[in-house]
Structure 1
């Protein structure tokens, strides 16, 4: 797991090094998601990397009935991860990334619930790892790692520390993390 997360950190480093134009102009999350996916793809040779991919082979990724996880369609069933690292034809789903802008005023719970659902071992398409990253202009302002349908607290702390050590973790002026 740490190997995959280190690759995400490298992709974020490359993203911040190359995409300041987009960040300075406060472009939309879809644009940022696509550009981050380009750098993620470079890190995961042998895997497919897609944005808003809701399939596995011919099947659509749908949440189980009665799920408390919010979805992305008006029928409340389909789920569209922002970035996935997977194999398209077989159930070999490594990583799902949900990206948010720091200026996003929508509740973060939607993205958190989505990662809980995407990593839930009881769904047929479960991803091994889920990562939530909130992008600010000069670094990642918030992150969480999901495994087994929930937040992996120890790994989330490790990931945040690795971001900090890589110069990617933003802190507030008062020194508090956000």
Structure 2
């Protein structure tokens, strides 16, 4: 998993180095997600990288009834992850990435529930790892890593520290990541 997370960090480094124009002008999350996916794709040779991908083979991604996250995409709040790293034809789901902007006022719980569901080993399309990143104008403001249907605290702390060491995340005065 650390190999994949290091690739996400490399993609974020390139994204922040190249996409200042978009960040300075506060463009929408879908625009930022697409551009980040371009850099993610460069890191994952041999894998396909897609945005809002809603299939697994011929089947549409749907969560079990009663799930917190809706599979109805009419409002753009679906089970479909922002960015996926996978092999479409096998199917083999490696990584799901949810992207948020700092200025997003919608509850973060929707993205958290989505990553919990997408990494739940009891669903037939589970992703090995999920990553939630909140993009600030100059740096990542927060991050979480999901494995096995929940937050992987040690991996989340490791990832945040790697982001900080890479200059992509600031440390508050109290030493906590933000």
Relative to the length of structure 1, the TM-score reads: 0.94
After superposition, the C-alpha distances for 1:10-34 in whole angstroms (9 at most, x for unaligned) are: 0000000000000000000000000
Q: Is the 8 A contact 2:141 2:170 kept in 1?
A: yes
Q: Is the 8 A contact 2:14 2:39 kept in 1?
A: yes
Paired position in structure 1 for 2:27 = 27
Does 35-44 or 78-87 show the bigger shift? Answer: 78-87
The aligned length equals 177
Hey, what's the Cα distance between the residues in 2 that align with 1:26 and 1:96? 24
Query: Is residue 144 from structure 1 mapped to residue 149 from structure 2 by the alignment?
Result: no
Q: Equivalent residue of 1:127, what SS? A: coil
Paired position in structure 2 for 1:52 = 52
1:73 shift after superposition = 2.5
Aligned CA distance change for structure 1 residues 173 and 32 (closer, same or farther; 3 Å)? farther
After superposition, the C-alpha distances for 1:91-139 in whole angstroms (9 at most, x for unaligned) are: 3100000000000000000000000000000000000000000000110
After superposition, the C-alpha distances for 1:133-162 in whole angstroms (9 at most, x for unaligned) are: 000011000000000000000000000000
Hey, what's the Cα distance between the residues in 2 that align with 1:72 and 1:96? 19
Mapping for residues 36-51 of structure 1, pairs under 5 Å: 36-51=36-51
Moved over 6 A (4+): none
Paired position in structure 2 for 1:167 = 167
Hey, what's the Cα distance between the residues in 2 that align with 1:156 and 1:44? 21
Q: Is the 8 A contact 2:69 2:78 kept in 1?
A: no
Hey, what's the Cα distance between the residues in 2 that align with 1:56 and 1:14? 29
Does 85-94 or 159-168 show the bigger shift? Answer: 85-94
Hey, what's the Cα distance between the residues in 1 that align with 2:58 and 2:71? 19
Unmatched runs of 5 consecutive residues or more in structure 1: none
Unmatched runs of 5 consecutive residues or more in structure 2: none
Hey, what's the Cα distance between the residues in 2 that align with 1:122 and 1:74? 26
Mapping for residues 93-172 of structure 1, pairs under 5 Å: 93-171=93-171
Paired position in structure 2 for 1:7 = 7
Root-mean-square deviation over aligned CA pairs:
1.8
